């Protein structure tokens, strides 16, 4: 099977707690890079989200800078008021117009992840109150990557996971607490397949 | 269109189509987008593909080669950056507090706003220079690749609906006056006082292919380099270095960094968090 190289996560309303839960399960030696787009207010306290997450999980979490390298076990979060895009081996930022009123846009992040890493990508869509991310996640699935959606029934807000499932019916539906362990398993099984 | 070909084959074919398109554009029109960051470029190319009612990037290539007007439309897609007045107020506050005192030591000041797009940043900087009594001895060179964007910048007219937001930005950026004194209302646009741009030279300049044209005490280039790939960034940073006076100041966007650049050692931070650097002696 294709090696898991990149985990791309999108979340909106209620996302901080959900992201924290998912990252909390990932060990320091997690074998894939992680990128996150969480809808956030521009002009909010800069770096707060990253500090919180960094303090509460084993991985290194930082706000993405342009052309920052992707590395296994390193988590890059989209800065407020920028789109975060994945290139092969690094990230880029853009100030293109907001999509669905959102910058960062989850569709932009997940779509670019699918372009850069194809089947080596796992997309994760968490709680949220809009439809951002559905198109991006479908693209990951279409390119042979893995699509994971938080169970809308138990998510803090169900709209975003529901929209994702409508666009990608074959996505794996997991409880929030199951997503981290599933990522660990994906990373481990794919690492084992290497010579 | 075969959407469900395997991901890798899809990727390889699309990459080939993009490479051929950029090569064609370069040879037919002289614009060189080959060093641009691929992810954003890909989005904008597809935006144009759909905007033309086409289905593939190869289809876009055909139209561009046969219809120069289509190239103009793509150029606009590829070059217009969404900007705002006093974007990142803390940056503009830092500029006033830490850079203007350096500029004040020169009898004549030259500022380059590289990639000025539709001009919001020029007027922001000009207003601050005016309030600090420096505008009269400053010449601002405002350049962009896109002539249509420059035309809008020259007009100094921005959407009236944005003024409430810009007023807040202006105040947070350390503005000293009532913001509304700088513009007059004309229908649904706010038309800025032409005196603000009297010392500004608007000129088409392509950071990728054009060279150095003057020496500046301050170069402002915010959220432009993010659209370039790492190698092209190096080249443009070299151009900035060659276009700067001794101890010149370089201001980049908040999330742009010199850290990974070959040119990193040539600069020291003035305000690290705002990405304001000074060239070492």
Looking at the fold, whether B63 and B201 belong to one and the same domain comes out as no
pLDDT surpassing 70 at residue A42: no
A63-101 pLDDT, tens digit per residue, is: 999 999 999 999 999 999 999 999 999 999 999 989 988
Looking at the fold, whether B145 and B271 belong to one and the same domain comes out as yes
Q: How many domains does chain B have?
A: 2
pLDDT band, very low/low/confident/very high, at B36 (cuts 50, 70, 90):
very high
* CATH code for the domain of B144: 3.40.50.150
B234-255 pLDDT, tens digit per residue, is: 999 999 999 999 999 999 999 9
Greater confidence (B76 vs A87) lies with A87
Q: Do B8 and A115 touch (CB under 8 A)?
A: no
Range of the domain at B58: 7-79
Q: Do A86 and B39 touch (CB under 8 A)?
A: yes
ipTM for the predicted complex comes to 0.89
**Nearest CB partner across the interface for B255, out of A82, A108, A115:** A82
Instruction: Give SS3 for B148.
Output: helix
Hey, of A45, A62, A67, which one would you mutate to test binding to chain B, going by the most B CBs within 10 A of its CB?
A67
Q: Do A65 and B82 touch (CB under 8 A)?
A: no
Domain A6-192 has CATH 1.10.3720.10: no
**Phi, psi (5° rounding) for residue B85?**
-75, 140
C-alpha closest to that of A107 among A131, A129, A136:
A136
> Which tokens go with A75?
């988590």
Please state, in angstroms and rounded to a whole number, the distance separating the CA atoms of residues B188 and B160.
Answer: 5
Please state, in angstroms and rounded to a whole number, the distance separating the CA atoms of residues A157 and A163.
Answer: 11
B10-30 pLDDT, tens digit per residue, is: 788 999 999 999 999 999 999
Looking at the fold, whether B105 and B229 belong to one and the same domain comes out as yes
C-alpha closest to that of A118 among A30, A32, A3:
A3
Residue B1 lies in a domain: no
The question of whether A42 is a catalytic residue gets the answer no
User: What beta strand segments (E) does chain B contain?
Assistant: 109-114, 138-144, 157-159, 183-186, 189-192, 200-204, 216-221, 244-252, 267-271, 276-279
Residue B255: closest CA among chain A residues belongs to which residue? Answer: A65
Q: Report chain A's mean pLDDT, rounded to a whole number.
A: 92
Query: Could you tell me which residues come within 8 angstroms of residue B67 by beta carbon, excluding any fewer than 6 positions away?
Result: none
DSSP letter at B108? S
Contact A146, A172 (CB under 8 A): yes
Q: Do B37 and A114 touch (CB under 8 A)?
A: no
- Terminal-residue alpha carbon distance, chain A: 12
Looking at the fold, whether B136 and B260 belong to one and the same domain comes out as yes
B94 touching A, CB under 8 A?
no
Set A105, A107, A112, A132: catalytic member: A132
b (16+ CB within 10 A) / e for A39-51: bbeeeeeeeebbe
Residue B270 lies in a domain: yes
Residue B217 lies in a domain: yes
Q: Do A118 and B223 touch (CB under 8 A)?
A: no
C-alpha closest to that of B71 among B79, A120, B277:
B79
Query: Could you tell me which residues come within 8 angstroms of residue A49 by beta carbon, excluding any fewer than 6 positions away?
Result: A16, A38, A40, A63, A77
Mean pLDDT value of segment B37-46: 95
**Nearest CB partner across the interface for A66, out of B14, B42, B256:** B256
Looking at the fold, whether B274 and B145 belong to one and the same domain comes out as yes
The question of whether A39 is a catalytic residue gets the answer yes
Looking at the fold, whether B187 and B148 belong to one and the same domain comes out as yes
Contact A8, A122 (CB under 8 A): yes
Residue A112: closest CA among chain B residues belongs to which residue? Answer: B39
The question of whether A105 is a catalytic residue gets the answer no
Domains of chain A: which residue ranges? Answer: 6-192
pLDDT surpassing 70 at residue B72: yes
pLDDT band, very low/low/confident/very high, at A48 (cuts 50, 70, 90):
confident
Residue B115 lies in a domain: yes
Q: Do A92 and B230 touch (CB under 8 A)?
A: no
**Nearest CB partner across the interface for B7, out of A69, A83, A118:** A118
Please state, in angstroms and rounded to a whole number, the distance separating the CA atoms of residues A146 and A38.
Answer: 20
Looking at the fold, whether B96 and B73 belong to one and the same domain comes out as no
Identify all chain A residues contacting B233, using CB atoms and an 8 Å cutoff: 67
Identify all chain B residues contacting A82, using CB atoms and an 8 Å cutoff: 226, 255
Query: Could you tell me which residues come within 8 angstroms of residue A119 by beta carbon, excluding any fewer than 6 positions away?
Result: A2, A143, A144, A145, B6, B7, B8
List B201's β-bridge partners, or say none: B141
Looking at the fold, whether B97 and B60 belong to one and the same domain comes out as no
pLDDT band, very low/low/confident/very high, at B2 (cuts 50, 70, 90):
very low
Looking at the fold, whether B13 and B130 belong to one and the same domain comes out as no
């Amino acid at each position: 099977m294709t090696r898991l190289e990149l985990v791309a996560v999108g979340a909106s309303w209620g996302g901080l707690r959900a992201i924290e839960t998912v990252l909390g399960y990932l060990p320091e030696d997690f074998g894939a890079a992680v990128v996150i787009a969480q809808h956030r207010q521009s002009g909010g306290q800069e770096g707060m989200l990253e500090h919180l997450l960094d303090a509460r999980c084993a991985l290194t979490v930082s706000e993405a800078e342009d052309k920052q390298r992707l590395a296994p076990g390193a988590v890059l979060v989209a800065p407020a008021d920028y789109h975060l895009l994945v290139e092969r081996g690094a990230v880029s930022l853009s100030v293109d117009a907001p999509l669905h009123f959102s910058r960062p846009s989850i569709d932009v992040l997940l779509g670019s992840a699918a372009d850069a890493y194809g089947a080596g990508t796992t997309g994760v869509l968490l709680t949220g109150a809009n439809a951002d991310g559905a198109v991006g996640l479908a693209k990951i699935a279409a390119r042979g990557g893995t699509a994971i959606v938080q169970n809308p029934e138990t998510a803090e807000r169900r709209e975003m996971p529901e929209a994702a499932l409508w666009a990608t019916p074959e996505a794996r539906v997991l409880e929030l607490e199951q997503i981290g362990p599933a990522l660990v398993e994906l990373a481990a099984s794919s690492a084992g397949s290497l010579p | 269109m075969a959407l469900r070909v395997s991901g890798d084959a899809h990727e390889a074919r699309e990459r080939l189509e993009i490479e051929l398109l950029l090569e064609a554009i370069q040879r037919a029109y002289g614009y060189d987008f080959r060093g641009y960051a691929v992810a954003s470029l890909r989005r904008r190319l597809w935006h144009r593909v759909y905007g033309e009612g086409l289905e593939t990037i190869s289809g876009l290539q055909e139209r561009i080669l046969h219809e120069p007007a289509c190239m103009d439309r793509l150029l606009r897609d590829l070059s217009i950056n969404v900007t705002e007045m006093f974007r990142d107020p803390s940056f503009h506050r830092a500029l006033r507090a830490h850079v203007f005192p350096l500029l004040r030591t020169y009898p004549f000041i030259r500022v380059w706003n590289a990639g000025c797009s539709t001009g919001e940043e020029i007027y922001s900087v000009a207003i601050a220079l005016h309030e600090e009594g420096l505008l009269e001895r400053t010449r601002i060179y405002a350049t962009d690749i896109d002539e249509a964007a420059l035309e809008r910048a020259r007009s100094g007219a921005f959407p009236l609906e944005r003024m409430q937001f810009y007023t807040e930005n202006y105040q947070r950026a350390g503005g000293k006056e009532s913001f509304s004194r700088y513009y007059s209302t004309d229908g649904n646009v706010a038309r800025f006082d032409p005196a603000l741009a009297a010392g500004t030279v608007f000129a088409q300049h392509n950071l990728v292919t054009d060279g150095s044209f003057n020496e500046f005490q301050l170069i402002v280039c915010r959220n432009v380099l993010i659209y370039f790939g790492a190698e092209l960034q190096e080249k443009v940073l070299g151009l900035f270095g060659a276009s700067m006076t001794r101890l010149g100041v370089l201001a980049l966007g908040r999330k742009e960094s010199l850290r990974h650049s070959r040119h990193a050692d040539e600069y020291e931070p003035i305000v690290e968090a705002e990405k304001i650097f000074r060239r070492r002696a």
